[in-house]
Amino acid sequence: MMNGYSRTVELPFSGVFEMRKRLRVGIILGGLSSEREVSLNSGRNVYDNLDNELYEGIPVFMDIQAKLWIIPWQLVSQNTTVDISEHLEKEARRISYEQLKQEIDFAFISLHGKYGDDGCIQGLLELLGIPYTGPGILASALGMDKHIQQKILRDAGLAVPESLIVHEKDWRENKNEIKKKIFNHFSLPFFTKPTREGSSIGVTAVKDEDSLEMGIEEALKWDNAVLIEEYLEGIEFSCIVLEEDGEAKPLDLTEIYPQSEYYTYDDKYMPGRCRKFTPPKNIPRELVKKIQAEVLKAYHALGFRSYGRIDGFLTKDGRILITDPNSSSGMAPSSFFFEQAACAGMLPIMVISKLIQNAIKIHNEKRGPL
């Protein structure tokens, strides 16, 4: 079980690891994406579960214009990012990107979605010389792009859903041909989704020709390419992978039963909208081990480091499909991460400390950007 917990922390300083009283951990939350409210919940919980003997938590809010602000706890506790934004000028302190290194020693990335999970903030932190949680630029970008990650996973011998990519230019110029191609390739129902979004934003279950047009147009609100993907029947699962002394190990699976037809934004974040079982209730243990092996292969194929969340399906005909590898994970109290970590004997404070310690070790050993 992953329950080791060190009370020692090494700190990066001018390329050398030295001991300091407390590591200044900047918890970056908010952001520009459709998932900024999810980010706020994650960042708030990370802040609440920092080990105060080892770390000084410094909330760093990114507003919708990508400006950075050092905010006090009373703003972190606000209900929404809009609430926070209304108080920034009077109650927060604006900093430039270049000033971030003067304010924090380490970045705990609690941003989700575009500009947070996709390599953008990781690239900025690399240039500033600030170590951070999660994988580096390339792996983060792959974790956001559903089309490219499916190509890589297929090449690695992993099963993924059947899919097609539709680019906006082609859709605008050849709508009828695109429709024909899609209906020749897929039987109803199937899904349309933006290639680079999370939390089921912009996803539509297509059941007829009219909903196909609607679904593609909805997805194009969020990106300039749409993934057409087969509809899967079976048991949906999610599995956290966590590195332990440099070795990546899967935690136990969470079995997911959404209230809606598919796992929607509301099912993910509204209380009572989804039933989750950790460990699984209806997947036999021998199958759990097979799923964990596939999850680990996906983690390595995409170059993830420190931790990641791999989602998938056990279909009715027994196939194990990887559907949504995530280079990071939500950190709200009811997230998969903390449910699965609890099964491994880890409290939230232990999880947060392990992620920080993992990241410091990984960044100390890297050559060039992560």
CA-to-CA separations, 198 to 101, 144, 218, in angstroms, rounded: 29, 8, 14
272 within some domain: yes
Closest to 193 measured CA to CA, from 212, 169, 170: 212
CB 33, CB 66: distance < 8 Å: no
Give per-residue pLDDT as tens, 184-231. Answer: 999 999 999 999 988 788 899 999 988 999 999 999 999 999 999 999
Distance CA 282, CA 253 (A): 11
Report the side by side order of strands in the sheet with 225-230.
163-167, 225-230, 190-194, 204-206
Residues 297 and 202 in one domain: no
Full domain range(s) for residue 90: 11-134
With contact defined as beta carbons under 8 Å apart, do 305 and 136 qualify? yes
- pLDDT score recorded for residue 244: 84
| Alpha carbons 261 and 232: distance in angstroms, whole number | 11
Say if 1 falls within a structural domain.
no
Residue 287's pLDDT is what?
96
Q: Please tell me the predicted confidence (pLDDT) of residue 267.
A: 61
Structure pTM? Answer: 0.90
Tens of pLDDT, residue by residue over 69-125, are 999 999 999 989 999 999 999 999 999 999 999 999 999 999 999 999 999 999 999
335 within domain boundaries: no
Q: Are residues 220 and 272 in the same domain?
A: no
Domain count, the chain: 3
> Do 35 and 73 belong to one domain?
yes
pLDDT in tens, 257-269: 877 676 666 666 6
Looking at the structure, tell me whether residues 153 and 194 fall in a common domain: no
Residue 10 has pLDDT above 80, yes or no: no
Strands (E), 159-207: 163-167, 190-194, 204-206
Is residue 100 included in any domain, yes or no? yes
Verify that 274 and 151 share a domain, yes or no. yes
Q: Is residue 265 located within the same domain as residue 154?
A: yes
